[in-house]
Structure 1
Amino acid sequence: MGIKENIEAIKERISNAARRAGRDPEEITLLAASKTRAPQEIREAFNCGIKVFGENRVQEAREKIPALSDLPIEWHMIGHLQTNKVKYAVKMFTLIHSVDSENLIEELEKRAKKEEKIQEVLIEVKLSPEETKHGCKEDEVPFLVEKILEKENLKLLGFMTIPPYVENREEVRPYFAKLREIKEAMERKFGRRFPHLSMGMTHDFEVAIEEGATIVRIGTAIFGPRNY
């Protein structure tokens, strides 16, 4: 199957998962994770109706995004962001999914102010025990929410997590449910709505949707195995 058929199949699966959860499929954004993908593959996916693409590495995005500047793509940063790359990230990305420290918040605010931009962000929460995963600890979330809400040039839209990879998708359901609970607790605490939960990838996005995901980050199921 090609990219077009893959996207149609994923959209159908998103719709079915949303309906099982009594949700409107239109609430869910299909983000194409385009790490290692060539500009022509991204162009093809865009032509099949995908409007939001996520990059993991600033350096790769800096090479790729200019090659696709003729397309009205909404670019998201979905990988770990180092403070020394923030100046580039703020210029390129509409939404940064991976905010996980006070230092990063301060740097994003400084650079967004310089660009005269309101930078939209998500807080990445590390709920998985794996050492390789990034994100803040659960008990740091209220502090980081407060820090972002104090900033003039940052806008907090919600939360992101990456659960451990396990064969049985049902085993990751508690991680997605936990992030939803964190979001709801922060909405009560701060008296405002944080509309987005970025969670779920190729292997487990249907479970994520059933637990409230509003953005699913799909790479392999759209483009096939990664090109390294």
Structure 2
Amino acid sequence: MTDRKAELAANLAQVEERIASACAAAGREREEVTLVVVTKTYPASDVRILHELGVRQVAENRDQDAAPKAAACADLSLRWHFVGQLQTNKVRSVASYADFVQSVDRVKLVNALSAAAGRDGRELGCLIQVALDAESGERGERGGVAPDGVEELAAAVESAPGLRLAGLMTVAPLAGPFAGRQRAAFDRLMEISSRLRGNHPAANMVSAGMSADLEDAVAAGATHVRVGTAVLGVRPGLG
């Protein structure tokens, strides 16, 4: 346990240094960027160590992993972000522990989340996942709604009981015009965010960037970066 804590502390310090340097280069205050540590495939014991090290925001992408982990860490002051593609049959479980769902990409999901949040008496922060590889009206291969579908979905979230429209999220696309062009992709997301905030001023979260491209996300103006590998190491089974 002690070795693992030292390892995570060292990794966190390196990531912190990267974020601070990226903020300085972009002329931004360090406080403008929130680190969300993606703990998927790692045990609840790692989440506890991260909490000891000051981490307060964690993310998961599979309910079958997240639900027991959230339950095991229920005594900690953590904010849980669900970042994976979400099937409606998992919504009731996710709504019981998640503070934010970052992967809202269709009206059917909005309705299901609203019903579940109401049942539990909770408010869920919702980020609309934007698929920058999607054609008009289509969904991307990694989930998300096409840019021209954002406003319709935002209106659905804003009018849904138990949900709060928090902002936008994207994953750097593997295909389409932004493939391999992370900075351009994140700049495009910021344009969409600016337009969204014209009608929904409180929707000011912009979640973008991961271990490999967090600097590009910070430079573009992201408010949240989702970092897994750089903090926790290569996923078990993927090394």
Fold agreement, TM-score > 0.5: yes
Residue 11 of structure 1 corresponds to which residue in structure 2?
16
For normalisation by structure 2, the TM-score amounts to 0.89
Question: Which SS does the other structure have where 1:157 is aligned?
Answer: strand
Q: Are residues 78 and 153 of structure 1, via their aligned partners in 2, closer, same or farther at CA, if it must alter by over 3 Å?
A: same
1:150 is aligned with what amino acid? S
CA RMSD of aligned residues (A): 1.8
Residue 50 of structure 1 corresponds to which residue in structure 2?
55
- 1:101 correspondence with 2:106: yes
Which digits, 9 at most, give the CA deviation of each residue in 1:114-139, with x for residues without a partner? Answer: 11222111000101369631101111
Distance 2:36 2:184 in 1: 22
- 1:134 correspondence with 2:134: no
**Would you say the 8 A contact 2:127–2:166 is kept in 1?**
yes
Report 1:196-211 matches (<5 A): 196-211=205-220
Which digits, 9 at most, give the CA deviation of each residue in 1:39-68, with x for residues without a partner? Answer: 112211221111111000011111212222
Q: Which one of the candidate residues 81, 84, 88 is aligned to 1:79? A: 84
1:18 is aligned with what amino acid? C
Distance 1:68 1:153 in 2: 24
Distance 2:144 2:222 in 1: 18
Tell me the CA shift for residue 165 of structure 1.
5.4
**Would you say the 8 A contact 2:19–2:218 is kept in 1?**
yes
Distance 1:95 1:131 in 2: 21
1:227 is aligned with what amino acid? P
**Would you say the 8 A contact 2:132–2:140 is kept in 1?**
no
1:65 is aligned with what amino acid? A
Distance 1:171 1:40 in 2: 36
1:22 is aligned with what amino acid? G
Residue 145 of structure 1 corresponds to which residue in structure 2?
154
Residue 23 of structure 1 corresponds to which residue in structure 2?
28
1:68 is aligned with what amino acid? C
Tell me the CA shift for residue 177 of structure 1.
0.5
- 1:223 correspondence with 2:232: yes
Q: Are residues 160 and 131 of structure 1, via their aligned partners in 2, closer, same or farther at CA, if it must alter by over 3 Å?
A: closer
Residue 171 of structure 1 corresponds to which residue in structure 2?
181
Residue 202 of structure 2 corresponds to which residue in structure 1?
193
5+ residue gaps in structure 2? Answer: 1-5
Distance 1:138 1:165 in 2: 16
Distance 2:123 2:46 in 1: 30
**Would you say the 8 A contact 1:170–1:207 is kept in 2?**
no
Which digits, 9 at most, give the CA deviation of each residue in 1:54-89, with x for residues without a partner? Answer: 000011111212222222111110111111111011
Question: Stretches of 4+ moved more than 6 A in 1?
Answer: none
Which digits, 9 at most, give the CA deviation of each residue in 1:152-171, with x for residues without a partner? Answer: 311011000001359xx982
Q: Are residues 85 and 153 of structure 1, via their aligned partners in 2, closer, same or farther at CA, if it must alter by over 3 Å?
A: same
Q: Are residues 85 and 183 of structure 1, via their aligned partners in 2, closer, same or farther at CA, if it must alter by over 3 Å?
A: same
- 1:157 correspondence with 2:166: yes
Which digits, 9 at most, give the CA deviation of each residue in 1:11-44, with x for residues without a partner? Answer: 1111111111111111111111000001112211
Residue 42 of structure 2 corresponds to which residue in structure 1?
37
Tell me the CA shift for residue 191 of structure 1.
5.0
Q: Which has the higher contact order (CA 8 A, sep 6+)?
A: 1
Distance 1:77 1:145 in 2: 18
